[in-house]
Amino acid sequence: MGRGPAIAAALGVLCVASAVLLVEGAELTTQLSNGFTATHAAGAAAAFEPVLYAPNAVFAFGFLRVGTASLDLAVVHLPSSFPLWRATPARLGDWSRAATLTFDDSSLVLADQDGGVLWRTLNAVGDTVALLNSSNLVVRRYDTDAPAWQSFDRPSDTLVVDQNFTGASPLLISSNRRFALRLGRTYMALRMEFYGGRATPEYWRHTALEAQPGNASEPPVYGRLDARGFFGLYLEGGARKVDVLSFDTFLQSPAGAFRRMTLDDDGNLRAYYWTDNSTAWASDYRAISERCELPTPCGAYSLCVPGDAQCQCLDDDDDSTTSAPPCRRAEETADLCSGGDGQSQQVGFDVVRRARVSVAYKEQLPVKTNTTEAECERACAANCSCWGAAFNGASGYCYLIDFPVETMVYEADDRKVGYFKIRRAAAARASRMSPGMAAATAALSLVLVCLAASGAYSGYRLWERRRRKRAGMEQELVPGPYKDLKSMASSNSSLKA
What does the pLDDT average to over 297-323?
80
| The predicted structure's pLDDT at residue 15 | 41
| The predicted structure's pLDDT at residue 321 | 58
- Its CATH architecture, for the domain 155-289, is Orthogonal Prism (2.90)
> Radius of gyration of the chain from Cα atoms?
34
- Whether residue 429 contacts residue 413, with contact meaning beta carbons closer than 8 Å, is answered with no
Report which of 71, 70, 78, 88 is spatially closest to residue 52, judged by C-alpha positions.
78
| The predicted structure's pLDDT at residue 341 | 52
| The predicted structure's pLDDT at residue 249 | 95
Cα–Cα distances in Å, from 107 out to 63, 98, 479? 17, 20, 91
| The predicted structure's pLDDT at residue 339 | 64
- pTM passes above 0.85: no
| The predicted structure's pLDDT at residue 6 | 42
What does the pLDDT average to over 213-241?
91
Query: Is there a shared CATH topology between the 1-151 domain and the 155-289 domain?
Result: yes
| The predicted structure's pLDDT at residue 426 | 57
What does the pLDDT average to over 229-241?
92
| The predicted structure's pLDDT at residue 494 | 39
pLDDT band, very low/low/confident/very high, at 486 (cuts 50, 70, 90): very low
pLDDT band, very low/low/confident/very high, at 481 (cuts 50, 70, 90): very low
Beta strands 93-94 and 99-104 are: unpaired
| The predicted structure's pLDDT at residue 490 | 39
Is the pLDDT assigned to residue 191 strictly greater than 90?
yes
What does the pLDDT average to over 254-276?
96
What does the pLDDT average to over 224-244?
93
Cα–Cα distances in Å, from 133 out to 55, 78, 95? 6, 12, 28
Domain definitions of the chain by residue range: 1-151, 155-289, 298-431
| The predicted structure's pLDDT at residue 123 | 83
Is the pLDDT assigned to residue 5 strictly greater than 50?
no
Specify whether domain 298-431 bears CATH 3.40.50.2030. no
What does the pLDDT average to over 147-162?
96
Is the pLDDT assigned to residue 9 strictly greater than 50?
no
Cα–Cα distances in Å, from 321 out to 111, 289, 311, 350, 404? 48, 21, 5, 23, 22
| The predicted structure's pLDDT at residue 424 | 80
| The predicted structure's pLDDT at residue 461 | 65
Give alpha helix (H) positions in 14-78: none
Rounded Cα distance, 436 and 107, in Å: 62
Homologous superfamily of 1-151 = Bulb-type lectin domain (2.90.10.10)
What does the pLDDT average to over 321-337?
66
Residue 345 phi, psi (nearest 5): -65, 145
**Which residues sit opposite 164 in a β-bridge?**
224
Name every residue whose Cβ is closer than 8 Å to that of residue 396 and which is 6 or more positions away in sequence.
369, 370, 371, 372
| The predicted structure's pLDDT at residue 476 | 37
Percent of the chain with pLDDT over 90: 59
